[in-house]
Structure formats: C-alpha cells, structure tokens
Amino acid sequence: MKKLENIVRGLFVSAVAGSILLFTSCKTADHTESYNYFKRFARNISSSFEIQTTHMNIDIPEQYGDIPPHPNDPPSSVTKKVKLKSGHYWSMAFGLDVSPVPYKIIENLKFGYTATFPLNPNTIREGLSEMEWYQKGAYAGTYSRVEVPNTINSLRLSWRQPIGRSYFIEAGGSLDFWKINVQGGWDRYYSEEPMIEDSLKDRSINPFLRLGLANEKATLHLLIKGERIEGKVPYGDVELRGTTFGLGFSYKF
C-alpha cells in the first residue's frame, strides 16, 4: 500500500512541478501568457456534490459480538452472539477539483479533495451494526458495531477523458483517511451502552470511476468507488471492504 501511496504522491508532485516550470517559462517569454496560466487555471476549478450509498462487508473479532447479559438483568438471562457481517449507509460528498497543468490535453489530469459526510450511519440497529434481543419485554439486546466518522477526507488524482462533445469517463485513485470505532455492548430501552470499544485509524488508496454528461460549465455523473479499511485492534484484525455508488454533478467557477 505504501508503494501505491508513494506513486500517487509522486504523480502529484510531478504535476505541480510541471505547472511551475510551465508557468515560469511562460512568464519569461511573455507576460500575457503568464496571465493566461492563471486564467486557464481558474477556468478549470470545479466544485462537486454527490449523494452516495456505501455497502460494506465486515470482518471483526468475535469478542465484539460476544457480550454477556447486562448487570441489571436477572441472573437467568442468556444472550446470543452477534455476528456483524455487513452493512450499508447513505452519505453526501462535497469536492473541489483542479487541473494543475491547464493546457490542452494535460488539463484532463485532475487533482481534488473530497469531504464525505455519512448520514446517520451509527443510529440504533442501522448502518454498520447488528443486534440480538434477549429480553424483548425490557427492550434489552446486545449489539456489535463499526462506528464510522462524521467526516471522511479524501485526496484524489484522476484522468478525465472526453468522449465526443457530451460525454466523459474519469478514472483515478482516492487516498482516503478513516477513523472508526469497533464496539460491542448493550442496547437497552433504545439507548446504547458500550462494553468494549476500540479505535482504529487507516488510510488506503481506492480506485474510482465516473461516467457522465458534460458541457462547458457543468457535468452530471455516476460514481463507482472501491472502499477498504484494514488494521488491528486489541482483539485481532479488522477488515472492511465494499463499494460506493453515487450520483452527482459538478460546476466550474
């Protein structure tokens, strides 16, 4: 993974260095051309908005689903193990894309930042969670959960290839920064009480593809993106893999 991250960083540094060299050469040759660089650069800045749904397959240590009865419950209470295997959630994402070298074909190279905001993925018995009732009359149950962050930050590098006058395809990689909590605990009267909880930070490079319609100012596109979170917690390995599907649009300033 580190090798892939180094490749992405190298491509970005090369793009920025190329922009600086191109701008410097233009400025030396002609002041008007140096102005054109900034003008071209500004014309290629675009903002985007997407509605997304993410589906995850989940593998976490079984200790987060092997929760005993709550201390306030009768001694005769018996719980079932909770097996968290998968889950899904909706989110919205806001992004900003630029063309580091805004000249002819090279302007198809895009660098961007995206902030993704999951929509209520950590509510009771929804999102990336699972539970088992053991005292229905008391609304008592045990749960296992992967709690996702309020914001997921990503850096993206891609190539947007026009197809004819109205279509485009864009392929690239996204460096995603994650912080998740892995929990196991009780759900009593619709209020959660964690028994064990551990945090995990991860960053991973994931491929994405956009297909869409475009004109001079705006695009409408479909998104397909891979998702991957890996790491260790005190009880063992954590691995989440999935796919995000999205519908979005972008607009050039």
Between residues 214 and 94, the one the model is more confident about: 94
Does residue 209 register a pLDDT over 80?
Answer: yes
pLDDT mean across residues, the chain: 86
Domain count, the chain: 1
Arithmetic mean of pLDDT, 181-191 = 90
Per residue in 117-128, pLDDT tens?
Answer: 999 889 888 899
What pLDDT is attached to residue 35?
A: 53
Arithmetic mean of pLDDT, 224-252 = 96
- The CATH number assigned to the domain holding 97 equals 2.40.160.20
Does residue 45 register a pLDDT over 90?
Answer: no
Per residue in 61-91, pLDDT tens?
Answer: 999 999 999 998 888 889 999 999 999 999 9
Query: 101 is in which domain, residue-wise?
Result: 2-252
Arithmetic mean of pLDDT, 217-231 = 96
Distance separating alpha carbons of residues 121 and 59, to the nearest angstrom: 18
Per residue in 125-154, pLDDT tens?
Answer: 889 999 999 887 777 899 999 999 999 999
Q: 3-7, 83-87, 245-249: lowest mean pLDDT where? A: 3-7
What pLDDT is attached to residue 131?
A: 92
